[in-house]
């Protein structure tokens, strides 16, 4: 628990006045901020490993065009360790958030349970833990790191029996999502991403896309209450080994979502490097009631670097605030970095996402007003001057009032935990 400091409060009072003078109420901004949940991605905690192979010496390699680099020591080796690491992380982040699970993080008690056999009971411990903490859960089928995904195709596979295997996996994943939603009283966003694609020029691009659309229709055949489960699908430009044609492209899924009323997942790393998802949000929200964001940071490619407080992130946050952030946009993080302490990786990304939302909430209304008047000169001046407003004092105050460490202090807590807990994992 952070100690309260009179300096932090005094700085906040001054910042409050400064913001008031430009028409911004910092107290209101913080109330709004506290209502925006962000889904922490469980897979940063163990390099997208999961727990299917706990009893075996080695699992399937990650595959699916995903790559985690680095060998930082102390990775969680089992669900208990992963939950402990998430507990620690959540103590360093202001606000109430969610946890995003992948299907491969089920607990099977030493039994071999294949992906087409998973059930909510395998997530019993996660549900109990989430309930105790008051956390919502989101979910993802795991359509990679499996013998039936080894040739790079899953739901669009030419072999009907393999396609069916993945349909069953995804179908069960939605049921698990609905069980999460029912038990926890907050809808679970279940997001389907498949790696399917061609390393080299395909002779037929239509067939795989028809098969993917057909398979998804089967996955979503049974209607589930939107109070319990929300279906999302995630496009991608390319992955390693799927450079020439990725079946689930942006156009494929935009059309799919509009015609089937599904949530579109915009991942910040899944487009051409000069494109930003911040420019896509307002367009897709014209045609879709709700969307999911995978906030990530691509460096040259979909490299899944830890989210930093970049212009891209600020652009995303601004669009979230401009839209009806309360209900239409679900925010999740998606990256995996094994080169630094994994709890620090989570904490840096989460704190940055929240900071970016705060900066967007503190933006002076005059920026929009000047634009409406056609005064681009004043708009640019205001946008630039807003950057040196004392948002840091508002952020520190928010951390203090939420009982989490202020400024750099959180790393000391990670170091203590690293020494006492993570350092003992070999
Ligand atoms: C892959 C997608 C997908 C995954 C996670 C682990 O490029 O972004 O969302 O990162 O499912
Ligand atoms: Zn993603």
Residue 109 alpha carbon to ligand 2 centre in Å: 29
Q: Is the pLDDT of residue 57 over 50?
A: no
- Average pLDDT (125-135) is 98
Of 110 and 383, more confident: 383
pLDDT value at 72 more than 90: yes
Answer yes or no: is the C-beta of 180 below 6 A from any ligand 1 atom. Answer: no
Say which CATH class 32-361 falls into: alpha beta
Average pLDDT over residues 257-270: 98
C-beta 47 within 6 A of ligand 1: no
53 is catalytic: no
Residues with CB under 5 A from ligand 2 (ion): 267, 294, 334
378: helix, coil or strand? Answer: helix
Answer yes or no: is the C-beta of 193 below 6 A from any ligand 1 atom: yes
Mean pLDDT of the region 295-312? 97
275 has pLDDT over 50: yes
Point out the catalytic residue in the list 43, 166, 193, 397. Answer: 193
* Greater model confidence, 4 or 155: 155
Q: Is the CB of 231 under 6 A from ligand 1?
A: no
Dihedral sign of CA atoms 30, 361, 299, 233 in order: positive
Question: Running DSSP on this structure, what letter comes out for residue 199?
Answer: S
Local structure of 17: helix, strand or coil: helix
Residue 304 designated active-site: yes
Domain ranges of the chain: 32-361
Does residue 279 have an active-site annotation? no
Query: Does the pLDDT value for residue 324 go beyond 80?
Result: no
Task: Please indicate whether residue 294 is annotated as part of the active site.
Answer: yes
User: Does the annotation mark 302 as catalytic?
Assistant: yes
Q: Identify whether 132 is a catalytic site residue.
A: no
The HSE-up count of residue 193 (CA atoms within 13 Å, CB side) is 29
Task: Read off φ and ψ for residue 321, nearest 5 degrees.
Answer: -70, -40
% of the chain residues with pLDDT over 90 = 94
Q: Give the containing element (helix H, strand E) for 260.
A: helix 250-260
Give the number of whichever ligand sits closest to the CA of residue 138.
Answer: 1
Distance CA 133, CA 425 (A): 25
Ligand 1 probe mutation, 138, 234, 303, most atoms within 8 A of CB: 234
Alpha carbon dihedral 178, 182, 183, 186, in 10-degree steps, equals 90
pLDDT at position 325: 64
Lowest mean pLDDT among 179-183, 223-227, 266-270, 320-324: 320-324
Q: What is the arithmetic mean of pLDDT over 415-420?
A: 98
Indicate if ligand 1 lies below 6 Å from the C-beta of 395. Answer: no
Residue 89 has pLDDT above 80, yes or no: yes
Active site residue 334: yes
Q: In testing the pocket of ligand 1, which one of 43, 48, 66 has its CB within 8 Å of the most ligand atoms? A: 66
pLDDT of 257 > 70? The answer is yes
Contact 41 CB / ligand 1 (< 6 Å): no
Atom 3 of ligand 1: nearest residue by CA position? 193
Query: Which pLDDT score is estimated for 58?
Result: 47
Number of alpha carbons in the 13 Å side-chain half-sphere of residue 26: 24
Question: 332: which strand partners?
Answer: 39, 294
DSSP-derived 3-state class of residue 297: strand
The pLDDT value given to residue 65: 85
How confident is the model at residue 61, as a pLDDT?
A: 74
Tokens of 362: 């503190």
Q: In this predicted structure, what is the pLDDT of residue 55?
A: 59
Q: Read off the pLDDT of each residue in 160-188 and give the average, rounded to a whole number.
A: 98
Predicted local distance difference test score (pLDDT) of residue 4: 77
Whether residue 165 has pLDDT greater than 80: yes
In 277-398 the beta strands, taken as DSSP E runs, fall at 291-295, 297-299, 301-305, 329-333
* Ligand that lies nearest to the alpha carbon of residue 236, given by its number in the listed order: 1
Contacts with 118 (C-beta within 8 Å, 6 or more apart), sequence order: 103, 106, 169, 172, 173, 176
Q: Look up the pTM and report it.
A: 0.97
- The answer to whether 56 and 62 are in contact (CB under 8 A) is no
Mean pLDDT in residue range 178-199: 98
State what percent of residues in the chain have pLDDT above 70: 97
Q: Higher confidence at residue 324 or residue 158?
A: 158
The catalytically annotated residue of 294, 305, 330, 355 is 294
3-55 per-position pLDDT tens digit: 678 999 999 999 999 999 999 999 999 999 999 999 999 999 999 999 998 75
CA of 384 to the centre of ligand 1 (A): 34
Q: What is the reported pLDDT for 326?
A: 62
Q: Which of 154, 266, 267 to mutate to test the pocket of ligand 1 (most atoms within 8 A of CB)?
A: 267
- Judge whether 234 counts as a catalytic residue: yes
Res 3: pLDDT: 61
| Strands (E) located in 185-288 | 188-192, 197-198, 229-233, 245-246, 263-267
Q: Active-site residue 324, yes or no?
A: no
pLDDT per position as a tens digit, 215-237: 999 999 999 999 999 999 999 99
Closest ligand 1 atom, residue 335 Cα? 10
């Amino acid at each position: 628990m952070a100690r309260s400091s009179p300096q932090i409060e005094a700085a906040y009072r001054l910042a409050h006045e400064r913001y008031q003078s430009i028409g911004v109420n910092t107290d209101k901004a913080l109330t709004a901020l506290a209502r925006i949940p962000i889904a922490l991605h469980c897979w940063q905690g163990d390099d997208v490993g999961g727990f299917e192979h706990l009893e075996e010496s080695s699992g399937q390699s990650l595959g699916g065009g995903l790559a985690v680099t680095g060998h930082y020591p102390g990775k969680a080796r089992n669900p208990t360790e992963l939950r402990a690491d998430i507990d620690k992380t959540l103590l360093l982040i202001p606000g109430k958030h969610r946890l995003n699970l992948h299907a491969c993080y089920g607990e099977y008690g030493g039994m071999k349970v294949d992906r087409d056999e998973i059930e909510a009971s395998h997530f019993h411990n996660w549900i109990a833990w989430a309930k105790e903490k008051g956390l919502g859960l989101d979910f993802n089928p795991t359509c990679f790191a499996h013998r039936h995904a080894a040739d790079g195709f899953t739901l669009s596979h030419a072999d009907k029996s393999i396609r069916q295997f993945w349909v069953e996996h995804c179908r069960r994943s939605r049921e698990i999502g609905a069980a999460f939603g029912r038990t926890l009283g907050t809808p679970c966003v279940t997001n389907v991403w498949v790696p399917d694609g061609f390393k080299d020029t395909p002779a037929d691009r239509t067939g795989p896309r028809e098969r993917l659309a057909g398979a998804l229709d089967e996955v979503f055949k049974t209607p589930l209450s939107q109070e319990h489960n929300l279906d999302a699908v995630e496009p991608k430009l390319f992955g390693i080994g799927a450079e020439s044609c990725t079946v689930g492209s942006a156009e494929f899924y935009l059309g799919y979502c509009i015609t089937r009323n599904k949530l579109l997942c915009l991942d910040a790393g899944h487009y051409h490097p000069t494109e930003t998802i911040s420019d896509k949000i307002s367009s897709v929200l014209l045609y879709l009631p709700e969307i999911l964001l995978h906030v990530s940071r691509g460096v040259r490619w979909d490299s899944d670097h830890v989210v930093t407080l970049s212009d891209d992130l600020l652009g995303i946050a601004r669009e979230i605030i401009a839209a009806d952030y309360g209900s239409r946009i679900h925010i999740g993080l998606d990256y995996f970095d094994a080169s630094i302490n994994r709890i620090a990786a989570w904490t840096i990304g989460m704190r940055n996402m929240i900071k970016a939302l705060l900066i967007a909430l503190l933006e002076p209304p005059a920026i929009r007003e000047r634009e409406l008047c056609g005064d681009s000169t004043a708009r640019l001046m205001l946008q630039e001057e807003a950057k040196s407003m004392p948002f840091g004092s508002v952020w520190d105050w928010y951390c203090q009032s939420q009982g989490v460490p202020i400024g750099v202090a959180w790393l000391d807590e990670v170091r203590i935990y690293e020494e006492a807990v993570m350092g003992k994992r070999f």
